[in-house]
Amino acid sequence: MTRVDVVVVGQGLAGTTLAWQLRRRGRSVLVLEREAGPSASRVAAGLVTPVTGKRLARSWRWDELFPAAVAFYQAVEAETDAAFFHRRPALRLFADPAERDAFGRRAGALGDLVRPAADIPPAFAAPHGGFGMDAARLDVPRYLAASRDHFRRHAAYLAADVAPSSDIALTPDGVRLPRLGVEAGGLVFCRGFATGADPWFGGVRFHAAKGEVLTVCVPGLSEGRVVHRGVWLAPAGGDLFRCGATYTWDPLDAEPTAAGRAEIEDRLRAFLRLPFEVVGHDAAVRPVVDAGFPVLGRHPDCPQLAYFNGLGSKGAMLAPFFADQLAAALTGEGGVEPAVDVRRHLANPRPPG
């Protein structure tokens, strides 16, 4: 048997970030990833913005989450010699006079997070103006790939599909995965949207949403900022941009749809004056939990098992802070906040048998 301190099941945004935080605390980690099918992390926009939504609300806990994210991603970039986290301004265009007026009322409370936009290119239809904000973007696929390569070089990564009910055996001092020849002091499920998929955390209730994203070619558009107006338009190199995203709740699958494509195209045409061509179309299910916050922590009856999920569309900003919080709890150096503790979300915390 190969022995490690912690097995992390899932190499999406949650699992990857948790693995880094555990390794920084001196723990040996093995990340297991099935490497099959699309995932929310691999099609995520990775946007980090201080102001969100129609109400122009300040992002939840921005003052502590954003600095934690910046420090974390920059440190991982240095260790992997890869570039995937980009701090750059974002531009939001007002959809109508009501939104412009709402910004006027909110601007004082938002302080130096926002500023009126005086440099809106003619490529964008913006009769009501807009505002700029300091923001960032995580290139999630590149972050995952750089991390996977690093973990693999340090014997901390294995391509494997784990069936919780048959592959995981609990022991008095940890877990065993006999089929994979692995044993560990603990195991953390970081598998995204997987309702009812294991006998321990299947009671966590999801309010997941399907999201679709397009890759578009816009010849002649020179814009390095992410632009928001009904949808976001994010630079992807050269004439390529990613644009999204939709929110639908039925069916919850990873199949792109004609309706999703049409919705994004219509919203893009509402403010982009240049012609564009769709060259890619992806879909995935966001792992949103009913509470609307991340969910993490140990199982109440099986402390060798833990859970980290529910990052949703703001995962790029949430992941570093809460992964560090869970890593601290797993190593006995801290605890999990009650508001995000998985024990609050388990309908039936005692496993069968």
Burial class (CB in 10 A: 0-12, 13-18, 19+), 108: exposed
Tell me the residue range of the domain where 175 lies.
2-43+142-206+290-344
Evaluate whether residue 294 is within a structural domain: yes
Q: Residue 227: give its domain's CATH number.
A: 3.30.9.10
Proportion of the chain above pLDDT 90, given as a percent: 73
Interval 20-50: pLDDT, tens? 999 999 999 999 998 876 667 767 889 999 9
CB 114 within 8 A of CB 133: yes
**Residue 214 shares a structural domain with residue 198:** no
**Residue 280 shares a structural domain with residue 160:** no
Q: How confident is the model at residue 286 (pLDDT cuts 50, 70, 90)?
A: confident
Evaluate whether residue 127 is within a structural domain: no
Evaluate whether residue 81 is within a structural domain: no
Evaluate whether residue 219 is within a structural domain: yes
**Residue 12 shares a structural domain with residue 37:** yes
Proportion of the chain above pLDDT 70, given as a percent: 95
Asked if residue 283 has pLDDT above 80, the reply is yes
Asked if residue 179 has pLDDT above 90, the reply is yes
Q: How confident is the model at residue 253 (pLDDT cuts 50, 70, 90)?
A: confident
Asked if residue 261 has pLDDT above 90, the reply is yes
Number of domains making up the chain: 2
Pairwise CA distance, residues 218 & 211, whole Å: 22
Evaluate whether residue 262 is within a structural domain: yes
3-state helix vs strand vs coil in the chain, percent to 5: 30, 30, 40
Asked if residue 324 has pLDDT above 50, the reply is yes
The whole-model pTM stands at 0.93
Q: How confident is the model at residue 205 (pLDDT cuts 50, 70, 90)?
A: confident
Burial class (CB in 10 A: 0-12, 13-18, 19+), 234: buried
Evaluate whether residue 221 is within a structural domain: yes
Query: What per-residue confidence (pLDDT) applies to 57?
Result: 84
Asked which of 244, 259, 286 is the last residue of a domain, the reply is: 286
- Find the mean pLDDT for residues 177-203: 88
**Residue 262 shares a structural domain with residue 278:** yes
Least-confidence region, from 63-77, 165-179, 239-253, 257-271: 239-253
- Find the mean pLDDT for residues 55-74: 93
Evaluate whether residue 330 is within a structural domain: yes
Q: Residue 328: give its domain's CATH number.
A: 3.50.50.60
**Residue 147 shares a structural domain with residue 275:** no
Query: What per-residue confidence (pLDDT) applies to 230?
Result: 93
Asked which of 286, 302, 333 is the last residue of a domain, the reply is: 286
**Residue 200 shares a structural domain with residue 294:** yes
What six digits make up the tokens of 26?
């001196």
Query: What per-residue confidence (pLDDT) applies to 144?
Result: 96
Residue 72, phi then psi, degrees to nearest 5: -65, -55
320 versus 311: the higher-pLDDT residue is: 320
Asked if residue 329 has pLDDT above 60, the reply is yes
Q: How confident is the model at residue 73 (pLDDT cuts 50, 70, 90)?
A: very high
Query: What per-residue confidence (pLDDT) applies to 353?
Result: 39
**Residue 329 shares a structural domain with residue 214:** no
Q: How confident is the model at residue 292 (pLDDT cuts 50, 70, 90)?
A: low
**Residue 276 shares a structural domain with residue 146:** no
Alpha helices (H) in the chain, listed in sequence order:
13-24, 40-43, 62-80, 97-110, 140-153, 164-167, 258-269, 315-330
**Residue 177 shares a structural domain with residue 214:** no
**Residue 187 shares a structural domain with residue 153:** yes
**Residue 265 shares a structural domain with residue 308:** no
Evaluate whether residue 120 is within a structural domain: no
CB 30 within 8 A of CB 7: yes
Query: What per-residue confidence (pLDDT) applies to 219?
Result: 97
Mean pLDDT estimate for the chain: 91
Query: What per-residue confidence (pLDDT) applies to 348?
Result: 52
**Residue 199 shares a structural domain with residue 242:** no
| CA angle in degrees (0–180, nearest 5) for 102-103-105 | 65
